[in-house]
Structure 1
Amino acid sequence: MSTRTLWRPTGPEELALVEASGRRAWPPRLPDQPIFYPVLNEDYATRIARDWNVKASGVGYVTRFEVATEFLDRYDVQQAGGETILEYWIPAEDLDELNAHIVGTIEVVAEYR
């Protein structure tokens, strides 16, 4: 099975829900969050965790996880800014299926305060 490495910047509340799943799943989106945005490179995830999550909640985490390529192939990579600002836009209703295609666990690779 082919996989793709993705990163997700997150705050402490979302990370607590990830940990409650055994680090195997992302929690459902809130009603005002119709899209789940995993990103394609660690640098972009770091900038969001450090510059946005820390300001919002005092701490930001960078997570890394593998997803089966066969699932991700349904979605186009979105360029959300500069050349390296790349992410997937996964509709909230597809999040359970994305979680089913996570290979391994969701790892915390960095923490910023």
Structure 2
Amino acid sequence: MTGRPATTTLWRPTGPEELALVRALDWRAWPPRLPEQPIFYPVLNEDYAIRIAREWNVPHSGVGFVTRFEVRSGFLSRYPVRRAGGRTILELWVPAEELPEFNAHIVGTVQVVHTFR
């Protein structure tokens, strides 16, 4: 009997444009990065995602969302955890060209867990 693969919970603060693209992908993938976005940055804790959604997405577009999703842990081991500030400000840096493979390792769907206006 095989069980569910070991997963890691990730969060992503996002604005309405990116969220609409995720919705169009049936909540199962992140859209390709724009040319000026060479890295996809999921974060490792909810509080950090909330802070970005409130402090960046809301002023930028009037609304900020925090999403949560699961990715196979074994796959994520290729990406070192990056500290983007304090000890709890942790991210993964996924090169844009690796995003399709990253998406293939999402287990389940992307869920909106917070909305800020």
Aligned to 2:25: 21
Equivalent AA in structure 2 for residue 96 of structure 1: P
For residues 4 and 103 of structure 1, the distance between their equivalents in structure 2, rounded to whole angstroms, comes to 10
**TM-score, normalised by the number of residues in structure 1:** 0.99
In structure 1, the gaps of 5 or more residues are none
Shift of 1:71: 1.0
**TM-score, normalised by the number of residues in structure 2:** 0.96
Identity of aligned residues (%): 73
Q: Give the paired residue count.
A: 113
- Are 1:74 and 2:82 an aligned pair? no
Q: Deviations over 1:39-66 (max 9, x none)?
A: 0000000000011000100000000000
- 2:43 is aligned, of 39, 43, 55, to 39
Following TM superposition, the consecutive aligned residue runs of length 4 or more in structure 1 with deviations greater than 2 angstroms are none
Q: How does 1:26-105 map to 2 (within 5 A)?
A: 26-105=30-109
In structure 2, the gaps of 5 or more residues are none
Q: Deviations over 1:59-103 (max 9, x none)?
A: 000000000011100010000000100000000000000100000
For residues 58 and 6 of structure 1, the distance between their equivalents in structure 2, rounded to whole angstroms, comes to 24
